[in-house]
Amino acid sequence: MDQQDRTRFSMPVATPDFFIVGAPRCGTTAMYEYLRAHPDVYMPLHKEPMYFGQDLTQLHVRLTERDYLALFAEARPGQRTGEATTWYLFSKTAASEIREFSPGARIIIMLRHPVDVMYSLHRELLFYRGETIDDFAEALAAEPDRREGRRLGPSRRPEVLLYRQAVHFAEQVERYLDVFGRERVKIILFDDFIADVEAEYADVLRFLGVDETFRPEFRRVNESKEPLNRTVQAMMVRPPAPVAKLIPLLRRSPFAHRVRAALLAFNSRPVDRPPMPTALRQQLMAEFEPEIRRLAALIDRDLSGWLPADEPERRLATA
């Protein structure tokens, strides 16, 4: 749909002008909820529309441009409009696609220690039944098979099971910096976000150019959880074929989203996952040290706190 086509709606169509592009398990859901509460910001109830990223595997039928723009139909004149899809960061094509669609867009990237992201992502995929290997070390060991299309279980998005590949943040961030320029990319570290959520939120509001004095209720969202009944959970996240056929229609309905969220909440309970085994964590910390150093140089941030604990004297140059 080109600009002329967009004028055929009964009212002018808002085009999203900022995007929370990821990474997963880095506070993106909380930031999405806090921004949705701002009177000068419009974000649709439909999080993760996954309209961009032609290289990403779709769970359902990809939204048409008309249906995607319809997500923003209720935005008021003067509001900043945005959406949040965490796998846009992983995608090799999403940055360029977003730039072509919304040339003046601003980008929000949220990052966390890659080892922590992998461990947290594994827990989330278990909850949504995209992952069937309960043991994290075994899931990591399955990656070579999964790259060849084996041991995927019921997952319809094989790329999400490649945990190491999902957290190559340096190359992912670099794509957005190259496409949008540093002045239009806001990078937030999860450590800073949880240490002072109010300050980080205010900084994002300044970045978006909206009233920075507004404060929502900073409630905790998207905590680690597990299903009370796995059979019921499987039916909700992997519905029977007759229901699955209706998903492309239901996913456009705010009411359907609220019902699904309520059912998932009813069938879950918060849990504190046991810490990762020390030996495995040390192995992964050492494996990702070069990646962390590359990221630190790229974003000009001190990430020494992300380095292996047995090398405290090492510091990353931020010059």
How does the average pLDDT of the chain come out, rounded?
86
- Residue 288 in this model has a pLDDT that exceeds 60: yes
Spell out a b/e string for 157-188, using b for 16 or more CB atoms within 10 Å of the CB, else e. ebbbbbbeebbbbbebbebbbebbeeebbbbb
The answer to whether 85 and 98 have CB atoms below 8 angstroms apart is: no
Q: How confident is the model at residue 186 (pLDDT cuts 50, 70, 90)?
A: very high
- Residue 267 in this model has a pLDDT that exceeds 90: no
Q: Assign domain 3-118+163-222+296-302 to its CATH architecture.
A: 3-Layer(aba) Sandwich (3.40)
The answer to whether 123 and 222 have CB atoms below 8 angstroms apart is: no
Among candidates 124, 61, 116, 49, which has minimal Cα distance to 88? 49
Q: What share of the chain is helix, strand, coil (3-state, %, to 5)?
A: 45, 10, 45
What CA–CA distance (Å, rounded) separates 108 from 93?
17
Tokens at 231, concatenated: 């059979």
pLDDT of residue 305: 93
pLDDT of residue 235: 60
pLDDT of residue 7: 42
Q: Work out the average pLDDT over 72-99.
A: 96
The predicted-structure confidence for 211-246, as pLDDT tens digits, reads as follows: 999 999 998 876 666 666 666 666 666 666 565 555
Lowest mean pLDDT among 130-139, 248-257, 267-276: 248-257
pLDDT of residue 316: 43
Select the highest-mean-pLDDT range: 12-16, 80-84, 247-251.
80-84
Handedness of CA 105, 110, 115, 118 (dihedral sign): negative
- Residue 158 in this model has a pLDDT that exceeds 80: yes
pLDDT of residue 87: 96
pLDDT of residue 252: 61
Q: Work out the average pLDDT over 142-148.
A: 95
pLDDT of residue 243: 58
Give me the percent of the chain exceeding a pLDDT of 90: 67
Q: How confident is the model at residue 8 (pLDDT cuts 50, 70, 90)?
A: very low
CB-neighbour burial class of residue 152 (10 A; exposed 0-12, middle 13-18, buried 19+)? middle
Q: Work out the average pLDDT over 306-317.
A: 56
Domain edges within the chain:
3-118+163-222+296-302
